[in-house]
Amino acid sequence: MAVFKMIRRDVQLLGETYLPKGQMLISPKEQLMFTGRGSVFAQSYLEEIYVMLLQGKCFHKPLSMDDMVVSALGRVHLRDGILMRPIAESRRAAIINSTWFEAMKLLKQMLAYANPHNFDLPPDFLHLCNTMENRYEPKGMNIPYHASLLPLHSRQQALLDAFNLLTNRMNLQYASWISCELPHRTEWPQVLHGNNFLRQWFRDKQWLNKDGTIKVPTGIEFLRAHRVLCCHSDDFARKGVCMYTWEQLHLLIHGKNPLVLPDLHLKLMRAGLLHLLDPARLFAYTTKRAEDFPLPHPTS
């Protein structure tokens, strides 16, 4: 069987292989999600593997941390000379499952190395871990473009895209089936009851039972509530109506409902519809954004 060497000449890399130890790839517990640098780091690593699999290749042996290099912009690349081989068609599913399983093991190792004093994994990232480690789940663009890897400013657009797909481009019965068992849906009344600002914005009759208590929403209603917050968050902050800044409001939405987007994307992937959202476009990192999280030069 043929064995290939991966040769990369189009990326300017730092002079040494190193990982950003202690560089806070995961934020503190009260805002448990990837930092901007962390999302670039994890997503670019998974995208490298995704592209390789799309080309019909797999690794000759499992990767190690020594096989990784980090560019000056914080993106992970495979080192030149990594041995690859074609994927045998008869074993395609098994090889793809094995590749993603090993990739997740290594990513957890790298995150533990980078965050030695804060290694509580974000709940939405654990959703990605479960998908990669479960051989029965579909594996494609839902892995490198997973919702847990989205920067905060892109999550608003991702939620709006999903809501618009379900309400405007899909049969209502089918859309209701996809969204019916979203995580955190039944907890929504408790979330509103415990937050004065949110309760004020969802006190319309459509959200209330006859006795004045808050309804448990359907899946579509639950997504519509998030759409209201996403679409009007800038207005709230600009008019001084909101006690939160834009970032604080979206951290609140994420903190209370971290699994809504990941679960919705996985259901769309199972139905063969995730490509309609084109999630890859939400990961278009600009030079300006990458420069906001510069990596230091490696130290001995």
Do 133 and 190 lie in one domain? The reply is: no
Q: What percent of the chain has pLDDT over 70?
A: 79
Residue 219 lies in a domain: yes
274 shares a domain with 172? yes
Residues 234 and 177 in one domain: yes
SS3 annotation, 108-149: HHHHHHHCCCCCCCCHHHHHHHHHHHCCCCCCCCCCCCCHHH
Residue after which a domain boundary falls, among 116, 148, 180: 148
Q: Are residues 121 and 212 in the same domain?
A: no
State the Cα–Cα distance between residues 263 and 183, nearest whole angstrom: 7
At position 68, the amino acid (one-letter code) is M
How do residues 284-295 score in pLDDT, each as one tens digit?
Answer: 753 333 333 333
If asked whether residues 8 and 129 sit together in one domain, one would say yes
Residue 135: the pLDDT is: 92
Average pLDDT of every residue of the chain: 79
pTM above 0.75, yes or no: yes
Task: Label residue 237 by pLDDT band (50, 70, 90).
Answer: low
The least confident of 25-29, 43-47, 251-255 is: 25-29
Q: Are residues 135 and 72 in the same domain?
A: yes
Q: How confident is the model at residue 118 (pLDDT cuts 50, 70, 90)?
A: low
Domain containing residue 235: 152-283
Q: How many structural domains is the chain composed of?
A: 2
Q: Of the given ranges (14-23, 31-40, 43-52, 168-177), which has the lowest mean pLDDT? A: 14-23
Q: Residue 10: its pLDDT value, please?
A: 33
78 and 172 within one domain:
no
**Averaged pLDDT for residues 172-200:** 85
> pLDDT, tens digit, for every residue of 124-176?
999 999 999 999 999 999 999 999 999 887 888 899 999 999 998 888 888 88
Q: How many residues does the chain have?
A: 300
291 within domain boundaries: no
Q: Say whether both 142 and 90 belong to one domain.
A: yes
Q: Is residue 292 part of a domain?
A: no
Q: What is the mean pLDDT of residues 256-264?
A: 91
> Which residue has tokens 């903190």?
255
